[in-house]
Amino acid sequence: MHVLLIEDDAEAARFLVKGLRESGYSVDHAVDGREGLLRATEGQFDLVVTDRMLPHVDGLAIIELMRANGILTSVLVLSALGSVDDRIRGLKAGGDDYLTKPFAFAELLARIEALLRRRAGSPHTTRLKVEDLEFDLLARRVTRGGRAVELTAREMKLLEFLMRRAGQVVTRTMLLEGVWDLHFDPQSNLIDVHISRLRQAIDRDTRPPADPHRTRLGLRARRPRNGCPLVRAGRHSGTCSSRF
């Protein structure tokens, strides 16, 4: 699930981003109301978590503009303003939930999960499926042919990233930025190791393919002329220079 966090307090933002990513969410962070408004109105998020008192554009104004533009993404408001009138104002502006600061991170997670469950009947995707591999994004549960697949939070994030792009070419840069939030190549085998572990977990206890040149899950790497490895999600046949 892709979450947009709009928070101008740097320390609070670091804590929330770290906690949400460790819980398996993909998180983008906007540092003020102006940037948050631009990102939120793109409408490409499963959930928006916004502080109320922000520089440049107030959190409630962001919500009102989102709704005016027909963006129905769920919004959770975080605020130190906790009176009944403040909470009512936040909900009437179009917010879906209102959490008063300070709060326990466990409660924030519970509220996020509740909001995402409410959206389960909406066009937002809550379940990914590639052949017999299924990923329940709300329950954070992966199965292969009905068999539960045990994955770490990072492996789940990697799998979600790939399944959302099934059949597309995914570059190392895309993986580093989207899964590890790295904007440079550490020149290590980080990606290769995680892809290998993910592949082993998913293919465990499954019968080997009849064709030795066909991948079972379809995660493969190939090295084009410029030497940059590409990872492809989906089912493919034929040989390749390196196969996960």
Q: What is the pLDDT of residue 29?
A: 94
Written as one letter, the residue type at 198 is L
Q: What does the pLDDT read at residue 61?
A: 95
Partners of 9 in the β-ladder? none
Query: What is the model's pLDDT at position 183?
Result: 66
**What is the tens place of the pLDDT at every residue in 85-135?**
999 999 999 999 999 999 999 999 999 988 887 775 554 567 888 889 999
pLDDT at 43: 65
**What pLDDT, on a 0 to 100 scale, did the predictor assign at position 100?**
93
Regions of the chain short of the pLDDT cut 70: 43, 120-125, 183-184, 205-244
CB atoms within 10 A of CB 139: 11
All residues at 6 or more sequence positions from 2 whose CB lies less than 8 Å from its CB, including other chains: 25, 26, 27, 28, 44, 45, 46, 47
Q: Are strands 47-51 and 74-79 parallel, antiparallel or unpaired?
A: parallel
- Predicted local confidence at residue 11, as pLDDT: 93
CB-neighbour burial class of residue 112 (10 A; exposed 0-12, middle 13-18, buried 19+): buried
Q: Find where tokens 């009849």 sit.
A: 210
Strand partners, 28: 4
Q: What is the value of pTM for the model shown?
A: 0.56
- pLDDT at residue 144, rounded to an integer: 92
Q: What is the pLDDT of residue 69?
A: 86
Say what the pLDDT of residue 230 is: 36
Three-state secondary structure readout of the chain: CEEEEECCCHHHHHHHHHHHHHCCCEEEEECCHHHHHHHHCCCCCCEEEEECCCCCCCHHHHHHHHHHCCCCCEEEEEECCCCHHHHHHHHHCCCCEEEECCCCHHHHHHHHHHHHHHHHHCCCCCEEEECCEEEECCCCEEEECCEEECCCHHHHHHHHHHHCCCCCEEEHHHHHHHHCCCCCCCCCCHHHHHHHHHHHHHHCCCCCCCCCCCCCCCCEEECCCCCCCEEECCCCCCCCCEEC
Tell me what pLDDT residue 134 has. 92
